[in-house]
Structures are given as C-alpha cells and as structure tokens.
C-alpha cells in the first residue's frame, strides 16, 4: 500500500488589514488545505463564528491550553492572546493535507524555531498609505485599536525579510495566483520528489 506523504505547513503573515483572509478565501476555491483555527481571547467581530473563525475563549481557558502544552505557538497581539492548537495541525499533516497557519510575526518565529521546514510567506500591501486606507475602511476597530494595529504593522513590515516569500496584495486574484505558485513550487522540491521516486 502506498504510504501517505505528510502534508506541509505554510505560515501566512502580514499586517492587519492587508487582506490575508480574502486572498486565502480565493486560494481555497481551488485547493483543499487545512486552515488552522486559532484560539484567541479577542472578542468576536460581527459575523465571526466560534470554531470557524477562531476558538473564542477567556484568558483562563487560554492559560490552561498553554499549561497543557496544547499550543504549537502563542503570542500577544493588540492586547489579546492568540495561539495555534497543535493537535489538529499534526492530525492534518499526518493525513497528508497541507496546513495554513495565519499567524503574526512572534508566532511565526516560534514555529520556525520548532519546525524549520515550515514555509513562511508574508503578504504585504502595495504601499503604506493603502494599508492605512484599508484598515480604516474596514470599520471594525476603534481609532485607538487602528493606531495600535498600524504601529504593529510597521514592525511586521520591517521584519518581512525573515520570511521565505513576499506577496504584494495588489489584486486578490494575482496574490492568490502567486500563493498557489509558491505551494506548487514547494511540492516540487528535489529532496521531496526524489524521496518519492526512490520510495523513501
Ligand atoms: P485579528 O484580530 O485581526 O483576527 O488577528 C490579529 C493578528 O493575529 C493577525 O496578524 C493574525 O494573523 C494573528 N493571529 C491569528 N491567529 C493567530 C495565532 O494562532 N497565533 C499567532 N501568533 N497569531 C495569530
């Protein structure tokens, strides 16, 4: 019986408001991947569903997950905690599915330190002004939160050179096509392919 090839993990980071969610939605029209649903202490936004967009929880529940070593990584962002439940990521990879972790910089660093084979992709805006415009027009955050997110966005953009790939989200279709091309290329890596041919 043919052995199931383990899936790969891809980290997607990028400043708040850059359109990561929209690009991923476009990608998922044609690709079956496991989108890791994070745990967070942030309040749900309008339309967000528990268990679909996030596992919403209070700080105590979050701390319990940390204590039980149930998170692959976790970070504080704009006053809230976010973390990746480890179990589902591993189950998906074991079953041969690729995994998408949509996480910020600190989390990306933690995952890379533990699992250096993880592919890191950064999605950036066409310009700083465009990012400001997108964040404000989203209309979901208070001016204070927007300012906090912009400050964080600056730090994240300046750290984008830690990533393996940089996609500029000018149009959603183009950004999704570039993301798809990266996933294809990563599955054509010679060490992987050769193992496949040689049956390792
Ligand atoms: P938002 O509140 O806008 O949904 O997310 C804020 C930031 O937290 C985004 O950059 C998002 O990618 C990041 N994020 C979401 N889930 C996780 C997670 O599980 N871990 C980490 N480190 N960051 C996350």
- Return averaged pLDDT per consecutive 10 residues of the chain, 200 residues in all: 83 93 96 97 95 96 98 94 97 97 97 98 95 85 87 93 97 98 96 84
| pLDDT value of position 135 | 85
- Shortest-distance Cα residue to atom 17 of ligand 1: 103
Cα distances from 184 to residues 19, 180, 187, in angstroms, run 22, 6, 5
Q: In 3-state terms, what secondary structure has residue 18?
A: coil
Would you state the pLDDT for residue 2?
60
Q: What is the pLDDT of residue 1?
A: 52
**Pairwise CA distance, residues 19 & 175, whole Å:** 10
Cβ-based neighbours of 95, under 8 Å, separated by 6 or more: 4, 7
Site to probe by mutation for ligand 1, drawn from 107, 114, 138, 160 as the one with most ligand atoms within 8 Å of Cβ, is 107
- Nearest CA owner, ligand 1 atom 11: 103
* Ligand 1 atom closest to 36 (CA): 19
pTM recorded for the entire structure? 0.93
């Amino acid at each position: 019986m043919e052995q199931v090839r383990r899936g790969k993990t891809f980290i997607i980071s990028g400043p708040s408001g850059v359109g990561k969610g929209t690009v991923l939605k476009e990608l998922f029209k044609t690709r079956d991947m496991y989108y890791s649903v994070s745990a967070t202490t942030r309040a749900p936004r309008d339309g967000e569903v528990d268990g679909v967009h996030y596992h919403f929880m209070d700080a105590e529940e979050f701390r319990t997950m940390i204590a039980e070593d149930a998170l692959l990584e976790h970070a504080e962002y704009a006053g809230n905690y976010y973390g990746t439940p480890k179990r589902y990521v591993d189950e998906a990879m074991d079953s041969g599915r690729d995994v998408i972790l949509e996480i910020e910089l600190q989390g990306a660093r933690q995952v890379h330190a533990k699992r250096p084979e993880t592919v890191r992709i950064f999605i950036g805006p066409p310009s700083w002004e465009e990012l400001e415009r997108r964040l404000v027009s989203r209309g979901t955050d208070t001016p204070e939160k927007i300012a906090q997110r912009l400050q964080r966005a600056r730090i994240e953009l300046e750290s984008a050179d830690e990533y393996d790939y940089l996609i500029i989200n000018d149009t959603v279709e183009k950004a999704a096509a570039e993301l798809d091309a990266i996933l294809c290329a990563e599955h054509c890596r010679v060490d992987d392919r050769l193992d496949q041919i040689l049956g390792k």
